[in-house]
Structure 1
Amino acid sequence: MRGDTRTDRTELRAEPRPPAGRAGFRQAIGHEWIKFTSVRSTLWTAVAAGTVTALGAVFVALSESLQPDDTVLGGSLTLAVVGQMLAAVFGVLVVSGEYASGTIRTTLTACPRRGTVVAAKTTLVASVLYAVGLISCTAAYLLGDALLPSGTYAQGEPLPALFGAAASFAVSGLLGLAIGLLVRHSAGAVTAAVAVLLLPSLLGPLFGDFQGWVAGVSPTAALEKVIQTSDAGAEVVGSLGAGASLLLVAGYTVGVLLVAGTAFRLRDVH
């Protein structure tokens, strides 16, 4: 009996413990996708960003509101700026919604590595919004081309402009994500994100000769240059080209996202 007891104890001591489970990047992406498709606020915000952009082309064509110097591309994508703002709101909600509901604790329990969580959210936001932007902007251009009077307006250059417009949606969403990580409160973060997009253009005229420098740093200015709207004159939104303007916005968005990611790793979740 004693020998059997010692054997049982030895077997119990030798029995391997189950490994402590830690979700890796692939699992974190899966979790983020499930949350995106199951939370109504984020799902419908992404849908709204695409819908308003595409339907804007129909509205512009039926209202006959384009100016003679407008292009089919720029006119069709007039409401892409609204879609861009909704993209920024989407980025905010991806993180602030978890703080509001308290599920951020569950997320960090499943994946304690906060850098992985930020990387997963960044990948989801960029991927979803690039797809939404590309599909909706392409649909808007095709609708505008079909509905606007043939030969009345210059066509514009849809390629690579449509890819650039999609990239501007993704960049705006990442900027919203960074602001959401820093502010953590949905209403405050949404207000801050919309302000970042709109204030440079609104305040630009107050700076006189420097209007183009001030307004030109906004994500909306980069989008207007990309889609070649008649409002994107150098005196209004600066003399940087479309590609350079988009890279400028992407550059400072990466910087803000790095700061936000660092704050997320250092701060408590409350």
Structure 2
Amino acid sequence: MTTPPTPQAPSQRQAPAPQHGPQTAPAGPYTSPIPVRRATLGDAIASEWTKIRSVRSTMWTLGVMIVLLIGIGLLAALAVNAVDSDLGSTPVLSLGFFGVLLGSICVITLGVMTIASEYGTGMIRTTLTACPSRARVLGAKAIVFFLLTFVITTVTTALVAVLQTALIDGTAPSGGEWLQATVGVGLYIATLGLLSLAVGALIRHSAGAITIMIGVVLLPLVLAMFMFTDSLADLRLALFQYSIPSQLSAFYSTSVAESGPSGWDPLWIMLGTTAVAMICAFVTLDRRDV
């Protein structure tokens, strides 16, 4: 009789015979052909430029601003030219003030939406995942927005100034008046837009931040108009002098108030205010979750 084979434990079973023939060596770690480098501020600026030029809000807000600046500036010049009115000591370039004041609302809107709209859509999470440095994100947004707004505002105000000077017979503006009415106004409006961007980062809500900024622009002047009592005379004068319309008119050698900031003083005031707001925006952005 034959003895049946004794079952073996799995550990005692014979391993399969090795296969003979060519074998492929195990693959090593994957190396990407794309060079890997550290992200820089230039990369963040390129990203923000792509975003700001590819959204419709940029085209509409800046397009409306250009139409307001050119349209109102030309209408004012044509109206003065049609009635053959003598401006007297009023600078010719001052006719561009009203178009710039209304156009600033468009810059405020775009400044707020540059960052607040990303909170509304949730895009800010993607932005901060791609670029964890929040200071770099805020700085890139500020640089791109400031340069874009400054260039467009300066070029448009210069065009309006040339057209108004050609249409109206009056005292030729000096070089300083030209510089303030073009470069000065461009710097002031772009800085005002940066202030709006900072408020948008603090509020994180487009409609709320835009409402706050419109109040900052118009409310002091409106309140001052209704302060009739003598006890509020000093406050009324301060509101008139330091309201944004009054500061903006200083670049045209005119003033809504009888006294107040003149020359380049409004720009320094706006730069200081915007710097404080941007610091608060960075601290808030760095400490709050998204």
TM-score, structure 2 as length reference: 0.79
Counterparts in 2 of 1:87 and 1:50: CA distance versus 1, 3 Å: same
Equivalent residue pairs, number: 259
What are structure 1's unaligned runs of at least 5 residues? none
- Residue 244 of structure 2 aligns with an amino acid whose one-letter code is P
Q: Deviations over 1:57-82 (max 9, x none)?
A: 11112333986553211113321111
Match of 1:202 in 2: 222
Q: Deviations over 1:175-204 (max 9, x none)?
A: 110110011111111111111111122222
Partner Cα separation in structure 2 for residue 49 and residue 218 of structure 1: 21
Partner Cα separation in structure 2 for residue 262 and residue 219 of structure 1: 26
Match of 2:92 in 1: 72
Match of 1:132 in 2: 152
- Residue 111 of structure 2 aligns with an amino acid whose one-letter code is G
Counterparts in 2 of 1:169 and 1:109: CA distance versus 1, 3 Å: same
Q: Deviations over 1:138-163 (max 9, x none)?
A: 11111111222x13x67462124321
The correspondence of residues 1-270 of structure 1 with structure 2, limited to 5 A, is 8=26, 11-12=28-29, 23-64=39-80, 68-148=88-168, 150-151=169-170, 155=173, 157-205=177-225, 206=227, 207-229=232-254, 231-234=256-259, 238=260, 240-269=261-290
Which has the larger share of helix? 1
Q: Deviations over 1:27-61 (max 9, x none)?
A: 11111111111100123212222331122211112
In 1, are the aligned partners of 2:115 and 2:197 still within 8 Å (CA)? yes
Alpha-carbon shift at residue 136 of structure 1 (Å): 1.1
What are structure 2's unaligned runs of at least 5 residues? 1-17
Query: What is the SS of the residue equivalent to 2:242?
Result: coil
Partner Cα separation in structure 2 for residue 38 and residue 123 of structure 1: 17
- Structure 1 window deviating more from structure 2 (118-127 vs 76-85): it is 76-85
Alpha-carbon shift at residue 8 of structure 1 (Å): 4.3
- Residue 133 of structure 1 aligns with an amino acid whose one-letter code is T
Alpha-carbon shift at residue 103 of structure 1 (Å): 1.2
Partner Cα separation in structure 1 for residue 165 and residue 257 of structure 2: 21
C-alpha RMSD of matched pairs (Å): 2.8
Partner Cα separation in structure 2 for residue 223 and residue 30 of structure 1: 32
Query: What is the SS of the residue equivalent to 2:98?
Result: coil
In 2, are the aligned partners of 1:77 and 1:141 still within 8 Å (CA)? no
Partner Cα separation in structure 2 for residue 136 and residue 90 of structure 1: 17
Partner Cα separation in structure 2 for residue 147 and residue 218 of structure 1: 31
Counterparts in 2 of 1:217 and 1:137: CA distance versus 1, 3 Å: same
TM-score, structure 1 as length reference: 0.85
Partner Cα separation in structure 1 for residue 53 and residue 133 of structure 2: 23
In 2, are the aligned partners of 1:197 and 1:220 still within 8 Å (CA)? yes
Larger Rg: 2
In 1, are the aligned partners of 2:154 and 2:186 still within 8 Å (CA)? yes
- Residue 79 of structure 2 aligns with an amino acid whose one-letter code is S
In 2, are the aligned partners of 1:70 and 1:154 still within 8 Å (CA)? no
Counterparts in 2 of 1:135 and 1:128: CA distance versus 1, 3 Å: same
Query: What is the SS of the residue equivalent to 1:268?
Result: coil
Query: What is the SS of the residue equivalent to 1:135?
Result: helix
- Residue 283 of structure 2 aligns with an amino acid whose one-letter code is T
Counterparts in 2 of 1:21 and 1:99: CA distance versus 1, 3 Å: farther
Partner Cα separation in structure 2 for residue 173 and residue 120 of structure 1: 14
Partner Cα separation in structure 2 for residue 267 and residue 19 of structure 1: 34
- Residue 202 of structure 1 aligns with an amino acid whose one-letter code is V
